[in-house]
Amino acid sequence: MNTISRTRHIGITAVSIFAIVAGLGEIVVGFTGNYLGILSKDIRPSLSTAVIGAFYSLGGLSLLTMRKWGAVLGILFISAEILGRVYLVMAGIAPSSGGDALKVVIGGAIALAVILYICSQWKKFE
């Protein structure tokens, strides 16, 4: 791979690493109920939350392949993370009102932005 090709993938790599780290944070929330004090009120620890975080991390790992099949998997995993957020709110695990609910929505919007970015970079995947 030449220098130009590597430079083209910096954005995808950055988004991938973000997804992995964000997913690991959600996994920690799943087991502890909070992570770095991000939430104003702890949620109850839940395996569901940890699994949803794993979807985010798996999405990031899939994107690192720089292959179209990895991009498709990444999009599917990150979409599952977004749907998982909806599930957590509907099941009463994540808050449905207040500041923490807004954080859940913003997190979902960021995940959607990751998907849209990956779609916009489709030609860069091999």
Where do the domains of the chain lie?
3-124
Q: Residue 46: phi, psi to the nearest 5?
A: -150, 130
Q: What is the pTM of this model?
A: 0.88
Token readout for 114 is 């990751």
Distance from chain centroid for Cα 121: 17
Type of residue numbered 67:
R
pLDDT at 76: 98
Q: What is the mean pLDDT of the chain?
A: 89
Confidence of residue 7 (pLDDT cuts 50, 70, 90): low
pLDDT at 5: 54
pLDDT at residue 4 greater than cutoff 60: no
Alpha-carbon radius of gyration of the chain: 15
Confidence of residue 57 (pLDDT cuts 50, 70, 90): very high
pLDDT at residue 2 greater than cutoff 70: no
Burial tier of 48 (Cβ tally within 10 Å: 0-12, 13-18, 19+): middle
pLDDT at 45: 85
Sign, CA dihedral 59-63-69-71, equals positive
> What mean pLDDT do residues 94-102 have?
86
Q: How would DSSP label each residue in 5-60?
A: HHHHTHHHHHHHHHHHHHHHHHHHHHHHS-STT-SSSPPPP-HHHHHHHHHHHHHH
pLDDT at residue 8 greater than cutoff 90: no
CB-based contact 81:111 (threshold 8 Å) = yes
